[in-house]
């Protein structure tokens, strides 16, 4: 049973953790660490650290998968000392989560601050791993690790780009957890930002519409995506993006799921399915946004979903269509569409 005992237990800590479910307990603990600098500093003493260098996480290879090493506070201090860095550097770390047992997890970038950047190859040799671009590594990470590293990358990047107040020009100061920055001269608080992006899988009943940008790897097609404009609802953004990119009008919008996507900046991907208006299937590609767009049959998409291995391996097997990696929300939407189509065609037999 999960109970919240409110103000009665708000003495030493914010909440009486004993009575809460594991999930609520964890959530409340993270909330406390974000709000209370002293509690977060204490948690950081006993916490563990994920290391980055210029936003690339430290990873270790294990077969076809990547493992994500973590350092204890003592190990991190030893490492910093070995490379002539003060343990003060740990102040730059940001809180990215915690375990069920309330072990706090932090991320620290050793490469972003050019004044005190640590030489990458030496750290890699010392720790027996490599700093690998998260985008490149994403298909070889577990979903738990990738979600944690997505958060870490987004937060570290946001802090790096918000060192100064945009009104006063003065340096801003991060709170201990890194959940905000404050300008000491005017008390403006800056919170980490994400841009809402709509991503839509359009169908005409039998086929789905996929598109590619010239920057995509050869053969890769994805669902239509676009940033929401100021003042738009999700529905309006979907209709506009589809019209802008492929010249079609959509209806029957259905929310599917959402995902935080850290490349290149933090986006909140809001995934929806939609159908074209009856009789309207002729695509007119906006070449300023896309290189190509096309309708794909269930068989073509199902065959592409079955393909295994990295992009490079898939490109060499000669089939024309490549789909986004499993961790991308576009992959999830395409898979859901294939499953729904397959079920409805089986039901029709
Ligand atoms: N996770 C996934 O499955 C998945 C799939 C497709 C796209 N995406 C992501 O969705 C995002 C948007 O897709 P898109 O590139 O097709 O968008 P888009 O169609 O809106 O085109 C991008 C252009 O929009 C403009 N723009 C407007 N607001 C912007 C903002 N806040 N930030 C950056 N540019 C802005 C810029 O001119 C930019 O060149 C990309 O960052 C991409 O990485 C994720
Ligand atoms: Mg787009």
3-class SS at 130?
Answer: strand
CB distance 150 to ligand 1 below 6 Å: no
Minimum-distance ligand 1 atom for the alpha carbon of 332: 3
Residue 7 has what pLDDT?
40
232 alpha carbon to ligand 1 midpoint, in Å?
Answer: 16
Residue 119 has what pLDDT?
86
187 alpha carbon to ligand 1 midpoint, in Å?
Answer: 32
**C-alpha span between 268 and 278 (Å, rounded):** 30
Residues of the chain with pLDDT under 50: 1-12
**Going by CA atoms, what residue is nearest to atom 7 of ligand 1?**
225
Contact 134, 182 (CB under 8 A): no
CB distance 175 to ligand 1 below 6 Å: no
CB distance 227 to ligand 1 below 6 Å: yes
Best mutation site among 153, 195, 197 for ligand 1 pocket (most ligand atoms within 8 Å of CB): 197
Report pTM.
0.88
Nearest to 310 by CA among 217, 237, 236: 217
| Strand-strand pairing, 195-203 and 267-276 | parallel
**Distance, C-alpha 74 to centroid of its chain:** 29
Residue 318 has what pLDDT?
65
CB distance 269 to ligand 1 below 6 Å: yes
Residue 64 has what pLDDT?
86
3-class SS at 66?
Answer: strand
- Is the previous residue joined to 264 through a cis bond, with omega within 30 degrees of 0? yes
């Amino acid at each position: 049973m999960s109970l919240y005992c409110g103000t009665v237990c708000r003495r030493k800590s914010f909440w009486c953790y004993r009575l809460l479910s594991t999930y609520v307990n964890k959530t409340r603990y993270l909330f406390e660490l974000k709000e209370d600098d002293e509690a977060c500093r204490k948690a950081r003493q006993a916490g563990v650290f994920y290391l980055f260098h210029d936003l690339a996480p430290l990873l270790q290879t294990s077969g076809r998968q990547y493992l994500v090493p973590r350092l204890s506070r003592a190990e991190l201090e030893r490492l910093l000392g070995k490379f002539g860095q003060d343990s003060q550097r740990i102040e730059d770390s940001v809180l990215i989560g915690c375990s069920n047992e309330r072990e706090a997890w932090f991320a620290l970038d050793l490469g972003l601050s050019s004044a005190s950047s640590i030489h990458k190859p030496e750290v890699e040799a010392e720790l027996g791993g490599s700093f690998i671009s998260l985008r490149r590594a994403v298909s070889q990470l577990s979903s738990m690790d990738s979600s944690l590293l997505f958060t870490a990358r987004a937060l570290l990047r946001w802090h790096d780009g918000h060192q100064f107040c945009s009104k006063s020009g003065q340096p801003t100061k991060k709170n201990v957890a890194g959940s905000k920055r404050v300008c000491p001269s005017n008390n403006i608080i800056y919170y980490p930002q994400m841009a809402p992006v709509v991503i839509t899988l359009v169908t005409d009943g039998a086929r789905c519409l996929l598109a590619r940008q010239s920057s995509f790897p050869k053969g890769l097609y994805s669902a239509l995506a676009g940033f929401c404009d100021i003042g738009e609802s999700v529905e309006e953004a979907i209709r506009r993006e589809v019209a802008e990119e492929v010249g079609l009008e959509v209806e029957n919008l259905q929310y599917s799921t959402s995902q935080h996507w850290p490349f290149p900046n933090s986006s909140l991907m809001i995934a929806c399915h939609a159908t074209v208006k009856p009789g309207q299937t002729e695509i007119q590609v906006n070449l300023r946004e896309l290189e190509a767009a096309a309708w794909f049959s269930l068989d073509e998409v199902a065959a592409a979903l079955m393909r295994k291995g990295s992009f490079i391996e898939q490109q060499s097997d000669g089939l024309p269509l490549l789909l986004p990696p499993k961790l991308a929300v576009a992959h999830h939407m395409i898979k859901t569409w294939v499953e729904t189509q397959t079920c409805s065609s089986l039901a029709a037999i």
